[in-house]
Structure formats: C-alpha cells, structure tokens
Amino acid sequence: MSYPVFEEASTVAYKSATDVDVSYPATVNAGDLLWCCVICASGTWSTPSGWTVLNGATTNRMVFWKEAAGTESGTLAVAKASGSSQNYGLMYRWSGQKSGSDWLQGTVNEYLAISATVSIPNFTDDTTDDEILCASVCLVLDNNSANNNASNYTERDDQLGTPGFFDSAFHLYTYQMASAGKPGTDSYTMTAADIYTVFSVGIAPASAAGYANDVNGVAAATIAKINGVATANIAKVSGV
C-alpha cells in the first residue's frame, strides 16, 4: 500500500447571497476524493446533491465529500438552507484512497474554539488500516493565516477570503500515520484569534494489488500477516 495523496485545492469562491459557486479543482479524475468546504457569516447550508456531509450537524461551517466521477468541472452551487450572508467555499482533491465510504477512518472529530491557537483534535476511534493520511481542515471566520508550526502535522494549503467585515480562511494540514490507531492531538497558531471549527479525520489507502500470481489460489493481498510481517514486505519466492 501507499499513503493517499493530497493533490490540489481550488481557489476561494465568494458570494453575497443565499448560495456560493465553489470551483472544482483544475483536474478531477474518476475515483478521486473531493472535499467541498463552505463558510458563511450566518445561516446553515444544504447538502449538495450527490455529496455527503463529513462533519455531522449542518451549521454555518461545513465539509461535504464525494467520490468523483471524473466528469466534474466548472463550479458547484452550494445553497443555504437558511439565511443570506457573505459565503465562501473551496474544494480539496485527494487520490489513492479507498473507494466509497470506506476511505473514512477514525470518525470525524470536530472542535470549535475562539483562539489564535488551533487545536487539532485526536480521532474519536482507532483507525484499522496502515498508512493512514490524517487530515485536518480548519474553517475560520476571519482571514487569519496559518503558521506551519504544528508538531506532527504539516501545512498543505492556506487560503484567505476577500478582505471585508467577514473574510474567512481555510487551513489544511496532513500527517502520515504508518500503523493503525490514533494520531494524537496537535496544534498550530494563526496570525490572530478568531472563531474557528477544525475537523480531524483519517483517509485510508487503496488496498494493495498483491503479487501477479496466486499461491494455491489465494491472492497474496488476502494472506494474513505472518509473525507480524505485512504481506507487502514478504519477499517473492521462486518468482511467485
């Protein structure tokens, strides 16, 4: 196996209305994992058709996900369930993850605070796969930049909304965790204190392909670990 990969982010979209048109990333391949992140000053969001809520209850700061068909392009209109205000959104694209809802590992953990220090929460449940890509996305009500000073997580994207009364910011951090379990807590600082919501979740890798040939009809990828050694690390024998 190999870790899932953060591929790219779209630019921040802005609209003062009852919706926002969020741009798709420049490239979208079939099977990619897409996250659509939206922030508004007030009101709540509706889940776009074909998307799934990542973070539980519908609030003014939301993350939705879908497995891409590969035909997505242009923009996605994300509507409000209530309220008209300044709305912001962007998308992240990932590759190399498990298909369907099995990519989601560790259960989404959400943390809300008002501070210049962003606390990345631990997962609420253990992951079950190896080579998990731990991902933390922070949605901030003001345009505060992130500092790349977390202990284990690494800053991958930091984008700010249009300066104004309500500005918004989107921070993305990732951490590669080799074995099943929990990554633990972490933190980083912003340029100023403000209200933020941060979501912590694990992205599981696609299953290993295994060897070209089977042994007694059993694919190598399905053989259990032997003496604690993963099958991916067991050498081929006699060209098998």
| pLDDT for position 57 | 61
Model confidence band, residue 237 (pLDDT cutoffs 50, 70, 90):
very low
Note whether 35 and 138 are within 8 A (CB): no
Q: Please check the confidence at residue 238 and state whether its pLDDT lies above 50.
A: no
Q: Is 102 left (phi over 0), alpha (psi -120 to 50) or beta?
A: alpha
Give the pLDDT mean for 202-227: 56
Q: What are the residues whose beta carbons fall under 8 Å from the beta carbon of 229, sequence distance 6 or more?
A: none
Q: What are the residues whose beta carbons fall under 8 Å from the beta carbon of 212, sequence distance 6 or more?
A: none
CB atoms within 10 A of CB 178: 9
For the stretch 148-187, pLDDT in tens is 999 999 999 999 987 665 789 999 999 999 999 999 999 9
Helix (H, G, I), strand (E, B) or coil at 165: coil
Q: Please check the confidence at residue 195 and state whether its pLDDT lies above 80.
A: yes
| Best CA proximity match to 107, nearest among 134, 83, 89, 125 | 125
pTM of the full structure: 0.84
| pLDDT for position 99 | 94
For the stretch 78-134, pLDDT in tens is 999 887 788 999 999 999 999 999 999 987 888 888 999 999 999 989 999 999 999
| pLDDT for position 165 | 59
Terminal-to-terminal C-alpha distance of the chain? 19
Q: Please check the confidence at residue 145 and state whether its pLDDT lies above 70.
A: yes
| pLDDT for position 107 | 77
Q: Is 212 left (phi over 0), alpha (psi -120 to 50) or beta?
A: alpha
Mean pLDDT over the full length of the chain: 86
Model confidence band, residue 59 (pLDDT cutoffs 50, 70, 90):
confident
| pLDDT for position 230 | 54
Name the residue ranges covered by the structural domains of the chain. 5-203
Note whether 180 and 134 are within 8 A (CB): no
- C-alpha angle 137/143/148, rounded to 5°? 50
| pLDDT for position 217 | 45
**Residue ranges of E strands in 97-185:** 104-120, 132-140, 154-160, 169-177
| pLDDT for position 214 | 40
Q: Which residues of 154-170 are buried (b: 16+ CB within 10 A; e: fewer)?
A: ebbbbbbbeeeebbbbb
Q: Phi, psi at residue 66, to the nearest 5°?
A: -155, 155
| pLDDT for position 83 | 79
| Best CA proximity match to 171, nearest among 159, 162, 179, 182 | 159
Helix (H, G, I), strand (E, B) or coil at 101: helix
Instruction: Return the sign of the alpha-carbon dihedral for residues 15, 17, 20, 21.
Output: negative
| pLDDT for position 218 | 46
Q: Which tokens is 152 given?
A: 């284990």
| pLDDT for position 85 | 80
